[in-house]
Amino acid sequence: MYSYFRLKKGVVMRGKNRFIAVILFAAMALVLMAFVPAAGGASAQEKSKEITKEKIAGAEAVIGLEFTESERDSMLQDLIDNLHGYMALRGVPIPNSIPPALDFNPIPAGFKFETKERKFVASKVRKPERPENLEELAFMPVRELAELVRTRKVSSIELTKLFLDRLKKFGPTLECVITLTEERALESARRADEEIAAGKYRGLLHGIPYGAKDLLAVKGYPTTWGAAPYRDQVIDEDAAVIKKLDEAGAVLVAKLTMGALAWGDVWFGGKTRNPWNLEQGSSGSSAGSASATAAGLVPFAIGTETWGSIVSPSTRCGATGLRPTYGRVSRTGAMALSWSMDKIGPICRTVEDCAIVFEAIRGADGIDRTLIEAPFNYDPGIDIKKLRIGYLKRLFDEDYENRANDEATLEKLRGLGCDLVPIELPDLPVDAISFILSAEAAAAFDELTRTGRDDLMVRQTRDAWPNVFRASRLIPAVEYIQANRLRYLIIEEMQKLGVDVWLSPSFGGSNLLLTNLTGHPCVVLPNGFDEKGCPASVTFMGKLFGEAELLAVAKAYQDATGFHLKHPPEFR
């Protein structure tokens, strides 16, 4: 499989060792680009003159290797040849929507899927009555709103106008809205009311308003990615998730803020606020999705996570978020940050709402090749005592800010009859391979870096994308591949945990990064408040494609507590 290497000047070079050597040379050339002037318009021939043996020696320190003088002399022409290839590659426009030909597979060897798919059944709900003041619906869960809409006690038009009004009233305070999709929303709501009146009820999201993180394309509206270089960008398509929610009859009312290019809570229009404490940002990058949901501006929202972007803002704002298994939800029409780590999921008021939205958005779209078909047999009535539930004992035993709330969470589950099993994550250097995300993100926004338009970004600190993109140009290709080989080992080790669900402090140890790298699903939900009255959270983790059991356990805990029923007082 390694027989072909290169054909140049009539010479064919073969052999596995030669292949490995030139991969290293390619990595070295990437490093050397830092030493080549980036003057606009300079030809590959002009730039190649800047590559010298002395600069090779300087580049070696960046990657932690050392070559001899003769080895530098031998590789010089290869690096020049590679540079010509890079320049040719850069002449081909490759938009953010084009993925690499290499697809990440989170499935361990021997993994077995459940094969039988059953019809989705939500839990039974009390029959809610129409309130005299519709503002009382602002914090009602989707499950109850759906019953009001289904029985026509409240129309979709009424709900849509209610949430549009709240978005207009409170959106500027929270800085959580980029674009209202009012015209689209009112037309969708009108159609929903007509269909429901005619007996054509599509399901629990029919007629229910929602918001979407502004990295999801929507026809006729800007898709800004939260970043100044893209603030006027219009993508002439609906993202797959938007299409699926349209098919479910849901009503898009707003495109919500995100940290610029999916990092943090700072976007080109300001800083999204935590509705519990307006002096504090909402965290990110699904900043607006969590803030708007928690403040009752939308019944639910769509967020994304690569490394904490659902977990973190849901924690800060007191929302309930689901990060599904990698490969469960199509990313077609969504901004790519890290092709092997990006995941799309709902941010809601309740665990059950997350299940309802996930049921609507999961599944193949015929375009995203990373999607893996697997059943989602959610059953809120399962006996969770029969599941094997673990907890990361070492992390829970540490001294940290939310420890008292987390200990109370474990005790509550024990009180529900769960026999919690202490477990530990694989003892492998997970933090050392976090640059997988940086390397992929730098590729996703390669043109932004090369054109210098990254200077338009609001955040220009060391700990911000412009600097990370530039620094990531010096990550050797070999090390990126080696990191993914270690990732493979971690995936195999995770299969040995032997539990259906496990609990972790939301930001404890390596759990958040590790499970984003392996693709495991999680539910983050409020489990109390800190001494300042702001929400705290705990994270329930699930097996790959084990969202059904994961959500059932998290729901049982949530129903037994009630922290999700408390809302930020300024927005009631």
- Residues with a known catalytic role: 213, 285, 309
Structure tokens, 336 = 């790519």
- Which residues are CB-neighbours of 55 under 8 A, at least 6 positions away? 32, 35
CA-closest candidate to residue 170, choices 197, 201, 139: 139
- For residue 456, the 8-state DSSP code is G
| Crossing angle between the packed helical segments 435-444 and 465-472, to the nearest 10 degrees | 100
The DSSP annotation for 125-141 comes to -------SSGGGGTT--
Q: What values do phi and psi take at 491, rounded to 5?
A: -60, -45
Please classify residue 278 by burial: count the beta carbons closer than 10 Å to its beta carbon, then call 0-12 exposed, 13-18 middle and 19+ buried. middle
Residues forming beta bridges with residue 199, ordered by sequence position: none
CB 423 within 8 A of CB 497: yes
Residue with tokens 């599904």: 324
d(CA 540, CA 315): 13
Structure tokens, 189 = 């709501």
- Which residues are CB-neighbours of 161 under 8 A, at least 6 positions away? 186
d(CA 254, CA 235): 16
Q: What values do phi and psi take at 131, rounded to 5?
A: -80, 155
DSSP three-state, residue 330: coil
CA-closest candidate to residue 97, choices 243, 225, 266: 225
Residue with tokens 């901004």: 335
CA-closest candidate to residue 38, choices 469, 451, 471, 472: 451
d(CA 213, CA 42): 39
CA dihedral over 506, 298, 178, 567, signed as positive or negative = negative
Residue 152 Ramachandran class (φ > 0 left, ψ -120 to 50 alpha, else beta)? left
